[in-house]
Structure 1
Amino acid sequence: MKLAVRLLLCVVATTLMLAGLVAWLNVRGEAPLPPASVAASSSVPGSPPGAADAATLARGAYLAKAGNCAACHGTSYAGGRGIATPFGSVFSSNLTPDAATGIGNWSSAEFWRAMHHGRSKDGRLLYPAFPYTSYTLVTREDSDAIHAFLRSLPPVQQANRRHELRFPYQYQASLAVWRALYFRPASFEPDEKQSAEVNRGGYLVRGLGHCMACHSGRNALGGSNEDGSGGLIAVQNWYAPSLSSAREAGVAAWSTADVVSLLKTGRSPQGTVTGPMAEVVFRSTQHLAVEDLQAMAKYLQSLPPSTSRPVGNKLADPAVRTLGAKVYEQHCASCHGKQGEGAHALYPPLAGNRAVSLDSPVNLIQMVLQGGFAPSTAGNPRPFGMPPFRQTLSDSEVAAVVSHLRQSWGHKASAVSALEVLRVR
């Protein structure tokens, strides 16, 4: 009996210690918020909407575009969009200055705490669908400018929707454990070996741009080291290629002008953006100043090259290659050319295109099934698109034509099976 009591006490003590450790890990680095009276008297934290000067508001609007805030919170910033995750749906919040349902009563210190620490005004832990794991690098000055811009918007009374998450992910305790494992507030530290321009690019790419949030792998709990090594975007089922691999999305060998063109217009001599990246260019990067895009390009070009992954070499059966060539001739060659050469400024080449020979074939399968357009930008206002073949081609035909592309014109990527197509479909 005494042994059982001792074991029980040991378990309770261990549980309390672990709970205390998790709690401490979730508040480390957080400074106490100023009293409400101090916030109200401050010209920044408690200022009424419209009190900020025009330059600050313009800067805040620009930074909100750099952070692609409208992608989740909508063009009115009233939120309500459901963001599907492997754990359920998270709904974006109302960022307008409505006092009842938005951030009308938020001080800049409280907004900064959400950006930097992932904690709401009332102290709740925020889900990382709001990418505070990247936004934690944003400076207080930039956070204050975004806050001032949001408070200048027309208020929209729209109550925030309750998240629809599965057990046990709906509980704050579960989120606290996740944060203890995978999140730590940080500040952007410039690399003394790099120029101010490269460091500016690093700040935009890793902070507001939160590029690493997609271009990094995630484990079963959604944890990521945000190293830019490439990863599958959960639920959307698109692969965000490695930013440092020359075989994937590395741009070290590109000219800076070509990288800027891709981010500004959605296309470059090396290729065209599609899928989720097309929305990033449409809503965010096309609106950035050329100087900032050049800085981002220089930073991406400075990334140390990663070790190339082994190239798959599973050859397609001759019958599959024959079927793939037939499908290509019937549906693809008229735009992309008989030898995959494409048409300048109209249709991207497939021969020598890295997107065709990625280890993961999901993006190529998605494009054949769904089709799509490059983003409409000032530099490419009427992009040519690709029709969807979801209703036209069977899984076997899609697998055959994708395998044909991945093993033609010098490509040596693995063949694709009908089962892989079915999984993407």
Structure 2
Amino acid sequence: MKRILWTLFFTVALLALGTAVVAALNLRGEDALPAESQSLSQARTATPELVARGEYLARVGNCMACHTVQGGAPYAGGRGIDTPFGVIHTSNLTPDKATGIGNWSAAEFWRALHNGRSKDGRLLYPAFPYPNYTLVTREDSDAIFAYLQSLPAVAQANRPHALRFPYNTQAALAVWRAVFFAPGAPQAEPTQTAEYNRGAYLVNGLGHCTACHTPRNALGATSDAKAFTGGLIPVQNWYAPALNAAHEAGVKEWRTDDVVALLKTGVAPKGSVTGPMAEVVFRSTQYLSDADVQAMAVYLRALPQQAPVATAGAKPSAATLQRGAKVYEQHCAQCHGDQGEGKPGAFPALAGNRAVMLQDPTNLVRVVLQGGYLPATAGNPRPHGMPPFQQTLSDEDVAAVTTFVRNSWGNQAPGVGTIEVYRARERRGM
């Protein structure tokens, strides 16, 4: 009996200790909110200049993309974000007092960005990328808040999340945060230029580039040690290529002007954007100042490079290549050329195109199925697009033609199987 009681005692004590540790870790780096009167006295005057700066910074963070449903009022929330754990619905950021952030203070908004905690004290889910936004300065947070408070108030109730148990509990989220999140602050590299440090601040903070270009573990967390090494975007099923590898999307060997062009227009001499990155350029980076885009380019070019990984795959069969060549001749050569040379300014070359030869062929398969569309930007207002072939080509045809372009004109990459095409269709309900 004594043994049972002692076991029970130690179990309860360990649970209490664990709860206390988790609670303490969730409060690390979090200052107490000022009293309401003090908060009001410390509030910055929302000058037109501050509001304009906040609008610009909201563009940098691409906030409207998530907090606006298609055809809905800007920043009124309600968009469902699919995750491996269920659906998270974005919140209303307009200054409506009942359903938005009209009753929030600048300090509470800063706490949401910096600590991932809502006005009422609830822990926020990291689909709102506060693991990156924690690096945003208080001054920039106040500017964004001033801009959001200047918007028309929209009375639109926030939709509840649709997450599976136990991911829908604050207890599970608290454990996740205790393990994977700690508040941070921008740290300037003293040996680097001010331009480099500005680029690092934009890329790692508001730009939250690592949220996509870093692999995630089974619980949806990223690792600083693997930052920028590329990863499959959960549920969306697009591969965000490594930004620190020349064979994927690294730009160390690019001219800075070419990196700027890619971020501002979506096209550059050595590459173009499609998929989720096309939306980022369309909604965000094309609007950045020349100085800020230049700073981002400088930082991205300076990323330490990972060594290329040697990969080997079974050589595609002659029958597969022959079938792929026939499909290419019928549907692709008119735009991309008989030798995959493309047409400058119109259709990208496939010969030597590293996006075609990624180890993970997901993006290439998705483009063939869904089509490829560059963003319409001020520097490229009427881009050419590629039509979808999901209703025209069978899985076998798509596998064959993608295998063909990955192994022709000097290209060399593993072949694509029908199972990879099937998965691409299945995950998008095609």
- Please give the range of the TM-score, normalised by the shorter of the 2 chains: over 0.9
Measure, in 2, the Cα distance between the counterparts of 1:70 and 1:182. 26
Q: For residue 99 of structure 1, what is the amino acid of its counterpart? A: K
Instruction: Please give the per-residue CA displacement for 1:296-339, whole angstroms capped at 9, x wherever unaligned.
Output: 00000000111212233321111001000100010000000011
Instruction: Please give the per-residue CA displacement for 1:173-211, whole angstroms capped at 9, x wherever unaligned.
Output: 000011111111000101112110011000000000000
Q: For residue 276 of structure 2, what is the amino acid of its counterpart? A: P
Superposed displacement of residue 407, structure 1: 0.8
Measure, in 2, the Cα distance between the counterparts of 1:57 and 1:157. 22
Measure, in 2, the Cα distance between the counterparts of 1:270 and 1:312. 25
Residue 428 of structure 2 corresponds to none
Contact 2:43 2:106 in 1 (8 A): no
Measure, in 2, the Cα distance between the counterparts of 1:166 and 1:140. 34
Superposed displacement of residue 76, structure 1: 1.2
Measure, in 2, the Cα distance between the counterparts of 1:259 and 1:276. 18
Q: For residue 91 of structure 2, what is the amino acid of its counterpart? A: S
Say if 2:159 is the partner of 1:161: yes
Residue 47 of structure 1 corresponds to none
Residue 285 of structure 1 corresponds to 285
Say if 2:52 is the partner of 1:54: no
Residue 95 of structure 1 corresponds to 93
Superposed displacement of residue 15, structure 1: 1.0
- Superposition map of 1:333-344 within 5 A: 333-344=333-344
Contact 1:215 1:240 in 2 (8 A): yes
Residue 354 of structure 1 corresponds to 354
Residue 318 of structure 1 corresponds to 318
- Superposition map of 1:100-119 within 5 A: 100-119=98-117
Superposed displacement of residue 411, structure 1: 1.5
Residue 423 of structure 1 corresponds to 423
Measure, in 2, the Cα distance between the counterparts of 1:186 and 1:312. 41
Measure, in 1, the Cα distance between the counterparts of 2:312 and 2:349. 22
Say if 2:62 is the partner of 1:64: no
Contact 2:60 2:206 in 1 (8 A): yes
Superposed displacement of residue 232, structure 1: 0.2
In the alignment of these two chains, the number of paired residues is: 419
Measure, in 1, the Cα distance between the counterparts of 2:241 and 2:372. 18
Q: For residue 68 of structure 1, what is the amino acid of its counterpart? A: N
Measure, in 2, the Cα distance between the counterparts of 1:312 and 1:116. 44
DSSP-derived class of the 1:98 partner: coil
1:127 is matched with which residue: 116, 125, 128? 125
Contact 1:86 1:235 in 2 (8 A): yes
Contact 1:312 1:359 in 2 (8 A): no
Measure, in 2, the Cα distance between the counterparts of 1:183 and 1:313. 38
Residue 254 of structure 2 corresponds to 254
Measure, in 1, the Cα distance between the counterparts of 2:30 and 2:43. 22
Q: For residue 61 of structure 1, what is the amino acid of its counterpart? A: E
Contact 2:200 2:296 in 1 (8 A): yes
DSSP-derived class of the 2:368 partner: helix
Superposed displacement of residue 41, structure 1: 2.8
Q: For residue 307 of structure 1, what is the amino acid of its counterpart? A: A
Contact 1:321 1:403 in 2 (8 A): yes
DSSP-derived class of the 1:208 partner: coil
Percent identity between matched residues is 61
Measure, in 1, the Cα distance between the counterparts of 2:7 and 2:190. 53
Q: For residue 385 of structure 1, what is the amino acid of its counterpart? A: G
Residue 186 of structure 1 corresponds to 184
- Superposition map of 1:216-227 within 5 A: 216-226=214-224, 227=227
DSSP-derived class of the 2:82 partner: strand
Say if 2:19 is the partner of 1:19: yes
DSSP-derived class of the 2:205 partner: helix
DSSP-derived class of the 1:83 partner: strand
Measure, in 1, the Cα distance between the counterparts of 2:114 and 2:338. 52
Contact 1:271 1:349 in 2 (8 A): no
Measure, in 2, the Cα distance between the counterparts of 1:43 and 1:187. 21
Contact 2:398 2:421 in 1 (8 A): yes
DSSP-derived class of the 1:325 partner: helix
Say if 2:414 is the partner of 1:414: yes
Instruction: Please give the per-residue CA displacement for 1:146-189, whole angstroms capped at 9, x wherever unaligned.
Output: 00000000000001010000111000000001111111100010
Measure, in 2, the Cα distance between the counterparts of 1:103 and 1:132. 17
Instruction: Please give the per-residue CA displacement for 1:11-43, whole angstroms capped at 9, x wherever unaligned.
Output: 111111111111111000101000112113333
Q: For residue 412 of structure 2, what is the amino acid of its counterpart? A: K
Q: For residue 115 of structure 2, what is the amino acid of its counterpart? A: H
Superposed displacement of residue 361, structure 1: 0.3
TM-align CA RMSD: 0.9
Residue 48 of structure 1 corresponds to none
Contact 2:54 2:144 in 1 (8 A): yes
Contact 1:312 1:412 in 2 (8 A): no
DSSP-derived class of the 2:328 partner: helix
DSSP-derived class of the 1:214 partner: helix
Measure, in 2, the Cα distance between the counterparts of 1:368 and 1:361. 11
DSSP-derived class of the 1:10 partner: helix
Structure 2 unmatched ranges of 5 or more: 426-430
Measure, in 2, the Cα distance between the counterparts of 1:178 and 1:314. 40
Residue 80 of structure 1 corresponds to 78
